[in-house]
Every structure is written in structure tokens, then in C-alpha cells.
Chain A
Amino acid sequence: MNRNLPLYLILPSLLLALFVISYPLYELINLSLSDVNRFGKVRGYIGLENFTYIFEDPLFIDAALRTVVWTVAVVGGTILFSIPIAVILNTEFHGRGIARTILMLPWAISLPMTAIVWRWSLNGEFGMLNASLMNVGLIDSPIVWLAQSATAFPVQIGLGILVSIPFTITIFLGGLSSIPLDLYEAAKMDGANAWQQFKRITYPLLRPFINMAIVLNVIYVFNSFPIIWVLTQGGPNNETDILVTYLYKQAFSFGHIGQASAVSIAMFTVLLIFTIFYARMVMKNEK
């Protein structure tokens, strides 16, 4: 057997990934350390000036803190909702196939389209959400959902959760189906009720899948752009800005390519630290 065979096998994927990711990353690092005009022309090396500029910008700090809230809330909410849903979908009942397909549906529409449809539904005058809520009697007068961050941001978090659920329950369903049924039988013999069964069997065995779902979702949600952009563009008064929308405005609305690249690098660093930290923690726990 050729010793280099595995290397040949991974080579094509390595080359493609390197090509598509490393070069842009290299460009970004360069730009983040340079004085760049809005047309991308590099005027010279300026060290960490772009970084100090963004770290002194209160809007950047606000956006960074809000990104933490956004990520924790969306990922936390997603996990919290997905576990019971997955447990239900894992039990046998009439129409389970249909239920599973329905729960996958949010995945089928692309995020910008989901956001567009919701923007229309949330419209204070013509939106169906107010009309429906008023029909059911939950509210008396229409709420203009996107007019203030106090309602807009929670709505965006809710949408973030909604679109993350399909992927997450898919992972959990995979995990649940790998738990041997005789464990439950044995627990039942011992007189364990449903909650005890969940606590003693389901949850511990699902743990690795939950970890995986957290890591992947944190990465997706942290980088997620369309929901907030389409619904509010970070407004009103920058009160729903997160790092990606801040980045996008710096780069494309204001032409601050250098600062925007610095934001990119800062975001990348945060994710890197998170992933390493989390990987360590999980490994320690498993030992």
C-alpha cells in the first residue's frame, strides 16, 4: 500500500478549500492593516489603526455586545425548543412523516426570502400577523413591530430560532435514533417515569449531539446576516445592529474597506477562540 495514498486522497479538497478561503483571508489581513480608500486602493501600511478606530467606535461596541445577546438567545432558544420537538418526533405517532416534513420546511426557503415574507407579514397596517393576532384576541390594536428595537429585536431572535430549528432537530433525531431502546425498557422496569427516563438516558446520550449543535449553530448564527438586514438594516437608530450588519455598512455604505476588514478579522478571531475553547472543554468533559 502506498504510504502517500491518504495524502493524494485529501489533496483535491485541500487545494480547493485553500484556494477559496486562504487567499481571501490573506487579502483581508492585508487590508485590515492598510489605509484603503473606498475603491479598495491601498494607500499604505498603517499598523493597527483600523482596529483602534473600530474599538473606539461606540456603535461597534454596542454591535459586539448585541451580537453576544443575539447568538446566545438564538442558539439557546433553538436548543431549548429543538430537544422536546425532536423527542416528540422520535416517538411513533400517526402522521409522523408529515410532521417531520413540516418542521423541515423553514429550511427550504432561503433566509432572505423568509425575511422578506416576514417583513411583509409584520407590516403594521397591511401585515397578516397583526390581523391574525387581533382575530384571535391576543392584541387589541395593531403593533408596528419593526418600529422600535424593543419589539423588532425579539422578533428577529424568534425568527432566528425558527430557521435554526430544522437543522438542529435533524441532528437530534439522528442522535435519538442511535439510543438503544432496551435502555428505556430497563428503566421502565425500574419504575422510572418519563422525566426520569429523559434525565437519566436521553439527555446524557444526546449530550454529544447537543454539543455539536451548539458549535455549528453558534458559527451560523454569529455570521447570520439576512434576517436582520432585510427586516431593519440594523435600525432604528442602530439598535438592532450586530457585527455583520455593522461590517456590511462600513464596507459598502461608507466605503471604509480597511475598518470593515478589521471587523472581519476581529470576528474571525472571536470564532476561533470560541471553537478552541469549546473543543477543549468538551474533550475535558469526555475524559
Chain B
Amino acid sequence: MLTKMNKKTKRSIFCWLALSPIICVIVFPFAVMFFTSVKPRQEVFSFPPTWLPSQFVWQNYIDMWQATKFSDALINSLYVSFSATFITLLVAIPAAYALARYHFAAKSSYRLFLLITQMLSPIVLVIGLFRLIVWLGLIDSVNSLVLIYAGFNIAFAIWMLQNYFHTIPKDLEESAWMEGASFLQGLTKVFLPMAIPAIAVTAMFTFINSWNEFVLALTVLRTEENYTLPIQVYSLVGGRYTIEWHHVMAAALVASLPAAILFSWLQKKLVTGLSSGAVK
């Protein structure tokens, strides 16, 4: 027993040592964000620079929150990300189910189509996308972002979901149908509950992608009250005569928190969700 414990402890030390360089690089920007965000304004440009501030100015966060209208941007980002995720799942789940369960003529061409959409990124299409949004009359509207984020996330969502759906035994919903359940009942009562981990992981991917998207939001949104978080933070840096670095860092840190929490919470499920990816 004791030797076994020792072995694991030894291994742990080795593992942490091996990971330490990359962990340093990962933690570094967070440390920069944190320590810059609590510095008094005049210390931000002190030379030579130091990590620790002379005093921790938590007030910076309150000032930043007001000066940057952070709550508006937060609400916009939440609205866009949740709506885009919802729509993506709404259309991707049935499609993934069809691809995982049925053989049909258009199947391989549909897969190809999805692969092509996967290859395109908003930056490459930005000129055309802008015209589409104008045509819809949705310029400066966060709803245009919802629609487009959903469209761009479909391919990946379907691909993830169908890989996972493959691993759910077919007999389960089939036996439900044999027992007289309707098609929908079989799906919602038997199949979907089994698929919840995969759906959660897919949802998270879509959410993160929407949460972090930059180029389109920059092109489409016009007025500050419609800005999403990345745009709001970027606007504190781009084309300004003075940059309030302590506010920028505070905003960036707070903006990263929701996604970071989501990750630590779903980290285990994420791996199992993707692990089925090899099944072709």
C-alpha cells in the first residue's frame, strides 16, 4: 500500500514538473491581467515594471464596470451566445440523428457540404456576410450575429453529435417504438436523455465560439449599447489616444471568467464527448 502511494506521488511530481513550463506560459497572461488590473493608474507605466502594486486598487474594477458599460456588453454576449447555441442545437440534433441512424442517398454529399462550411471562417466571407446582413435589415443588431454564429457552428456541432450518437445502442429507441411509443416519444423519452452529455459538450463548444467571436461583431455592430464583450474590450485599445491599461486588463479578466468556470466545470465531460470522435 505504502509503496503504491509513493509511486503515485513520485509520478505526480514528475507529471507536474513536466507540465510546469507550459503551465507557466499559460498562467503568465492571467497574472499580467490580474496584477495590472489592481495597480493604481500611475503605476501602470512605472519603469522598471514590477509585478506587485504598491497597493491593491480594487476600485479599478468598479470604475471599469462603469466606464466601459460592462454590464450591457455582458448581457449582449450572454444573449448572443445562448441564442446561437440554442438554434445550433435545434437544427443540429435532428441532422446528427439522421446521419447517425439512417442510410440515405444524399448522406455523403451532405457530409461534404458540411466539411466545406467547416472550412470557411467569417473573416474570409466577411464582405459577403455583411451584404447578407444588410439584405436582412439586421445591421447593428445582435440578432444578425446569432443567425450567423449558428450557421457557422452547425458543421462542427453535427459532426460531434453524430459521432456520439453512433455509440448509443439503436435497440433502445427501437424497443420503445415496438412497445407502441410514437416516433417523437421514442426520441425524447429514450434517446435524448442518453445523449445529454454529448449535447452538453456540443453546446459548450458553440457557446465558447460565439462568446469569443471577434471579426464579424466588429464589422456588424455600430453602437456601443449593442457591443459584445470582445468588441467592448477591443474598443478600449483600438484607435484611442490614451489606453487605460488597468481597465482593459480588468475587463479582459472579468470577460474570461464565465468561459473559464464553464471549462473547469465541464472539463471531464468534454473529454468523453470528444472521445467518440474516432468512430467514423
> Quick check: do A and B touch in the complex, using CB within 8 A?
yes
Binding site for B on A (CB under 8 A): 5-10, 12-14, 16-17, 19-21, 23-28, 31, 40, 81, 84-85, 88, 91-97, 99-114, 116-118, 120-121, 125-129, 131-132, 162, 165, 170-171, 173-175, 177-178, 208-209, 212, 219-220, 223, 225-226, 244, 247-248, 251, 257, 260-261, 264, 267-268, 271-272, 275, 279
> B75: which A residues are within 8 A, CB to CB?
none
Q: Contacts A104-B263, A111-B214 given: A267-B124 contact, CB under 8 Å?
A: yes
- Which of these, B150, B215, B274, contacts A170 with CB under 8 Å? B274
Question: What residues of B have a CB within 8 angstroms of the CB of A93 in the complex?
Answer: 8, 11-12, 14-16
Question: What are 24 contact pairs spanning A and B, CB under 8 A?
Answer: A5-B102, A9-B97, A10-B94, A12-B94, A13-B91, A16-B151, A17-B117, A20-B152, A28-B127, A94-B9, A94-B12, A104-B270, A105-B260, A110-B256, A113-B230, A113-B255, A113-B256, A117-B252, A174-B272, A178-B275, A247-B123, A248-B123, A257-B127, A279-B115
- B242 interfacial contact with A, CB 8 Å: no
Q: Do the beta carbons of B234 and A20 come within 8 Å of each other?
A: no
Least Cβ distance of A137 to chain B in Å?
A: 15
Per a CB cutoff under 8 Å, which of A8, A84, A92, A261 touches B18? A84
Residues of B within 8 A of A268 (CB): 119-120, 124
B26 touches A105 (CB 8 A): yes
The B1-29 residues at the A interface (CB cut-off 8 A) are 8-9, 11-12, 14-16, 18-19, 22-23, 25-29
B15 near A88: Cβ-Cβ < 8 Å: yes
Residues of chain A contacted by B270 (CB below 8 angstroms):
104, 170
Can you list, as one digit per residue, whether each of B86-115 has a CB less than 8 Å from chain A (1) or not (0)? 010011101101110110101100100111
| 4 new A-B contacts at CB < 8 Å, known A5-B102, A110-B212 | A6-B98, A6-B102, A26-B128, A174-B276
Residues B271 and A177 in contact, CB atoms below 8 Å apart: yes
Interface-central residue, A16, A99, A261, by most chain B CB under 10 Å: A16
A20 and B132: CB pair below 8 A?
A: yes
Please name the 5 residue pairs, one residue from A and one from B, whose CB atoms are nearest each other, closest first.
A24-B128, A20-B151, A174-B275, A110-B212, A174-B274
**Distance from B153 Cβ to chain A, minimum over Cβ atoms (Å):** 10
Bound form: Cα–Cα A94–B27 in Å: 19
Across the two chains, which residue of chain A brings its CB closest to B255?
Answer: A113
Contact B252 A105 (CB under 8 A): no
Q: Which residue of B lies closest to A100 (CB)?
A: B267
- A118 to B248, alpha carbons, bound, how many Å? 12
B260 to chain A, nearest CB (A): 4
Q: B178 at interface (Cβ–Cβ under 8 A)?
A: no
User: Would B272 and A177 count as touching, CB distance under 8 A?
Assistant: yes
B124 and A99 contacting across the interface, CB-CB below 8 Å: no
Candidates B47, B106, B252, B274; contact of A171 at CB < 8 Å: B274
Query: For residue A165, which residue of chain B has the nearest CB?
Result: B22
As a 0/1 sequence over residues 35 to 49 of chain B, the CB contacts with chain A under 8 angstroms (1 = contact) are: 110000000111111
The one of B45, B132, B214, B276 in contact with A24, judged by C-beta atoms closer than 8 angstroms, is B132
Q: Is the CB of B233 within 8 A of A113?
A: yes
Hey, which chain B residues are within 8 Å of A126, CB to CB?
Answer: 44-47, 49
**A110 lies within 8 A of B98 (CB):** no
Min distance, Cβ A222 to any Cβ of chain B, angstroms: 9
Known A85-B22, A111-B214; judge A131-B9 contact (CB<8 A): no
Shortest B275–chain A CB gap in Å is 3
Closest to A117 in B: B29
Contact B131 A128 (CB under 8 A): no
CB of A66 to closest CB in B, whole Å: 17
Contact of A17 among B107, B154, B264, B275 (CB under 8 A): B154
Rounded to whole angstroms, the CA-CA distance of A219 and B124 in the bound complex is 12
How many angstroms between the C-alpha atoms of A192 and B271 in the bound complex?
A: 28
- In the bound assembly, the distance between CA atoms of A133 and B131 in angstroms comes to 48
Which of A28, A84, A121 meets B28, CB within 8 Å?
Answer: A121
Cβ-defined partner of B94 (8 Å) among A13, A113, A177, A226 = A13
Task: Provide the residues of chain A in CB contact with B44, threshold 8 Å.
Answer: 126
B171, chain A: closest CB distance, angstroms: 16
- Per the bound structure, the CA–CA distance linking A112 and B214 in Å amounts to 7
State in angstroms the CA–CA spacing of A114 and B25 once bound together. 12
> Within 8 Å CB of A103, what residues of B?
19, 22-23, 26
Q: Find chain B residues with CB under 8 A from A244 CB.
A: 123-124
Residues of B within 8 A of A127 (CB): 49
Contacts of A114 in B (CB 8 A): 29
Query: Is B267 in contact with A128, judged by CB distance below 8 angstroms?
Result: no
0/1 interface trace, chain B 122-135, chain A, CB 8 Å (1 if under): 01111111011000
Indicate whether A24 sits within 8 Å of B129 (C-beta atoms), given known contacts A94-B9, A101-B264, A131-B48.
yes
